[in-house]
Amino acid sequence: MGKSAGVERIEVDWVDSCSAYGWMGEAEALEARTTRCSTIGFVVREDDEEIAIAQNRTLDGRADPWGEVIAIAKSAILKYSIVDVKEAPCQRSTKQSVTSVLIKAARLRAASKKQRGSITAKGSRAKRR
């Protein structure tokens, strides 16, 4: 029996399988590749074969505290490390903090789209010459 229901925070880099749905030609089939993934979360369970990680955990003592749980085969793990979390006092209310993060993210996406449009336009002009 393995460890279970701890509060250890970890980061796991692992290889995920790949599948494609439907019929395809040989060229497309030869393109199928595994994907390297990274998961950060709380160790829910660990044994000799696999580790289960939750991305979310409630803090209010509920009977169902885990959210977004993934079980990863240990044979697929490339790297495993414990995440050292430093706690900092919150300056503003959570609602204000989340709102400011969302606003910053929207501004960054808009700037990124504008920059990509500029790069595409420059590349298009170069091709016309």
User: What domain range includes position 112?
Assistant: 88-129
pTM for this prediction: 0.59
If asked whether residues 64 and 76 sit together in one domain, one would say: yes
If asked whether residues 14 and 45 sit together in one domain, one would say: yes
If asked whether residues 55 and 13 sit together in one domain, one would say: yes
Each residue's pLDDT, cut to its tens digit, for the chain (129 residues) gives 455 455 789 999 999 998 888 999 999 999 989 999 999 999 999 999 999 999 998 888 888 889 999 999 999 999 999 888 776 666 655 555 667 777 877 888 888 777 666 554 444 444 443
DSSP class per residue in 31-77? T---EEEEEEEEEEEE-SSEEEEEEEE-SS--S--EEEEEEEEGGGE
If asked whether residues 6 and 69 sit together in one domain, one would say: yes
In angstroms, the first-to-last Cα distance of the chain is 68
Alpha carbons 46 and 5: distance in angstroms, whole number: 9
